[in-house]
Amino acid sequence: MDEKIRIKDIAERAGVSVGTVDRVLHKRPNVSQKAREKVEKALAEMDYQPNMYASALAYNKSYTFYLLMPKHESEAYWEEIEEGAMKACERMRDFQISVKIMFYKRFDTLSFTKKYNECLDSAPDGVIIVPAELEITRQFTDKLHQRNIPFVLLDSNMPDLRPLSFYGQDSLSSGSFAAKVLMLVASGEKEIMLMKQMKDGKVVSRQQENREVGFRHYMREHFPHIKIIELNLPLEYERKNYDAILEDFFTAHPQLHHCITFNSKAHIVGTFLLRTNRRDIQIMGYDMVGKNMECLKQGSISFLIAQHAYMQGYSCVDTLFRAIVLKKEVEPVNYMPIELLLKENVDYYRRTQL
């Protein structure tokens, strides 16, 4: 409660008992309509602002949020999202907030369906979703709407699903930004390589698809003469398999000096370039994960675009907390910064800064 306004002050202003004011403030029953109107009028006249944190603590209810996300390897972009979500949970422990993480297998409809049904069976108070394909995700979110369970979308925005909020980059702008930065060093090239990781003919995420759209739009407008050569690397290959593909590619394109990828795996190419001592080729990529940072420092990655994965995970939990526990309004769309990292500034980048 606002320390400057006591319940006693409100009661005197409204001409009712302290107990009546307490019941109105905490939305309890057994208050007449006339008394309620008196209290509400007094609150408005006194510009009373309730202390939602104190009220939430006094309510003494526990809340469980679920984070549904893809399975991933260590040091990946997703791991930072997990860390951010768990840090938010730790900071909110006084409010009895817990976060449970569930993993689904990408491009596996049965896996996503199984996990979201497990989530629903657990009766969550709120859900954070890294979406699968639109229609299968819609099946889940329709059920969440039916049960009045708020959810936040992470990484890929699908506004048709009517989420409480979204956290991620503006993917189209990010792709355009990447093209503009790359052309600062590659404008004189005749061709560049676009590396993708594919599974069953699909890239890993809608976010990457949109980044590519933004990238190609910029290139068509400003550098139509530069040929974009795609190299598709299958998911979950061993290093020797990637090396064989990359060796064949760079042997076939001896004049190529610059590459780009829209995922966090620029290090696949970067480590290959270091091992084979190809110092005249560089790749640009996304996300400040450990392997990428090492390649950036050693010069095989030219630039990294960071998107604060840790902050995304933290902010999604915080948004559910503010909306569900504190009953506050939240921003529906939250775009992450598009930040450029070079070897000269990467050591000063604070991925955990909030």
Residue 151, pLDDT > 60, answer yes
Task: Indicate whether 177 and 302 sit together in one domain.
Answer: yes
Domain assignment present for 36: yes
Task: Indicate whether 119 and 207 sit together in one domain.
Answer: no
Average pLDDT over residues 251-262: 96
Structure confidence at residue 56 as a pLDDT band (50, 70, 90): low
Any idea what the CATH number is for the domain that residue 14 is in? 1.10.260.40
Task: Indicate whether 147 and 261 sit together in one domain.
Answer: no
CB 76 within 8 A of CB 84: no
Could you tell me the residue range of the domain that residue 322 belongs to?
61-169+309-337
Most confident of 199-208, 234-243, 255-264: 255-264
Res 2: pLDDT: 44
Domain assignment present for 232: yes
Task: Indicate whether 116 and 142 sit together in one domain.
Answer: yes
Which one is predicted more confidently, 206 or 115? 115
| Average pLDDT in the chain | 90
Res 29: pLDDT: 80
Task: Indicate whether 161 and 190 sit together in one domain.
Answer: no
Domain assignment present for 82: yes
Closest CA to 317 of 172, 129, 183: 129
- The neighbour count for residue 121, using CB atoms within 10 Å, is 8
Task: Indicate whether 153 and 230 sit together in one domain.
Answer: no
Q: Which of 89-93, 123-127, 216-220 has the lowest mean pLDDT?
A: 89-93
Res 57: pLDDT: 57
Average pLDDT over residues 211-225: 97
Res 4: pLDDT: 65
Task: Indicate whether 121 and 99 sit together in one domain.
Answer: yes
Tokens of 321: 């907390």
Q: Give the contacts of 303 (CB within 8 A, at least 6 positions apart).
A: 181, 182, 284, 285, 296, 340, 341, 342
Task: Indicate whether 88 and 20 sit together in one domain.
Answer: no
Task: Indicate whether 200 and 277 sit together in one domain.
Answer: yes
Structure confidence at residue 47 as a pLDDT band (50, 70, 90): confident
| Domains contained in the chain, number | 3
Res 354: pLDDT: 54
Q: How far is CA 18 from CA 35, 51, 186, 202, 262, in A?
A: 12, 18, 73, 64, 61
Task: Indicate whether 238 and 204 sit together in one domain.
Answer: yes
Closest CA to 265 of 240, 237, 244: 237
Which one is predicted more confidently, 12 or 6? 12
Residue 75, pLDDT > 60, answer no
Structure confidence at residue 1 as a pLDDT band (50, 70, 90): very low
Task: Indicate whether 128 and 194 sit together in one domain.
Answer: no
Any idea what the CATH number is for the domain that residue 183 is in? 3.40.50.2300
Domain assignment present for 331: yes
Last residue of a domain, one of 287, 306, 325: 306
Average pLDDT over residues 208-230: 97
Domain assignment present for 343: no
Task: Indicate whether 238 and 333 sit together in one domain.
Answer: no
Residue owning tokens 């080729």: 281
